[in-house]
Amino acid sequence: MKRSVWITVITIITVCCVIGGTFYHIFRYGAGFFGHGATENTSLELEAFDAINVDANLMNVTITAGNQFYLSCVYSDELEPVYEVKSGTLTIKQRVYSRVGVNNAECSLSLTVPAQKVLDSINVHTALGNIELEGISASECELLSNMGNCTLRKCSFDKSDLKTNLGEISVRDTGLGKAEVDNDMGEINLDACTFGDLSITASMGGVKVDAAQALDGYDMELEADLGSVHVNNRDEGTKYHQSGSDGELEIDTNMGSIRLTY
């Protein structure tokens, strides 16, 4: 298939995914984008929890290690988050109103978790907004932003699933465990990270992986449809294969190059 045809097909599919995902998450309540008005502030200490579930339409979410279970939020009056701790799970949702308009709309939520706490699970889904984690440990972590960046630093997971439709995924000094990382439109950068089995898919954007572990015994399949593959600064063309039994590493890009170092 000609290069121009590939580009057209990939672009159409990616745009449809972005638009479809955004419309589903934002308009499923009949709300559209949200109204604006006075800014409110909420800050309070939370009872202990073992899991986090966040489902939001327009919200920046930051989760960091601290001294206690604590929540703080700055939000426009029609983007108020609703939260509760029940059966060991902190659940956060966003009230949705019928007005249309996005002028000055704002919602930024911050959570702190005691530094030594290992959570059972973290699930954060946002339609519009950035997701940021630092110093957090959990058995399972699932992050999804339809439009926004996903940033992790100094975290540790047994299993992780990171996905954005439009944005960048940036992970540094983190143990991802068994992981899947997907991005429709944007770069993926894993710096000084460790992992078990790892699968990375990027539709429109490059992938850089700097592994803080030996990968000589890994089974690898790296392929860049419209780009190049570099392994430890060696140009491997558009495909690279290595056999091994220590783990699996699969990276696939449609439009973008792959750079792997270890």
The pLDDT, as a whole number, for residue 97 is 52
The pLDDT, as a whole number, for residue 13 is 57
The pLDDT, as a whole number, for residue 106 is 86
- 3-class DSSP assignment, residue 241: strand
DSSP string, 58-98: E-EEEEEEESS-EEEEEEETT--EEEEEETTEEEEEE---S
The pLDDT, as a whole number, for residue 23 is 45
Cβ neighbours around 24 below 10 Å, total: 11
N-term to C-term CA, the chain: 34
The pLDDT, as a whole number, for residue 87 is 97
Q: Model pTM?
A: 0.85
Residue type (1 letter), 51: A
Rounded distance between C-alpha atoms, residue 169 and residue 190, angstroms: 8
Tell me the H-state helices in the chain. Answer: 3-27
pLDDT along the chain (262 residues), means of 10: 49 54 43 54 96 96 97 90 96 70 76 97 97 98 97 98 97 98 97 98 97 98 96 97 97 97 98
The DSSP bridge partners found for residue 165 are none
The pLDDT, as a whole number, for residue 77 is 79
For the chain, helix, strand, coil in percent to 5 are: 10, 60, 30
HSE-up (13 A, CA, CB side) for residue 132: 13
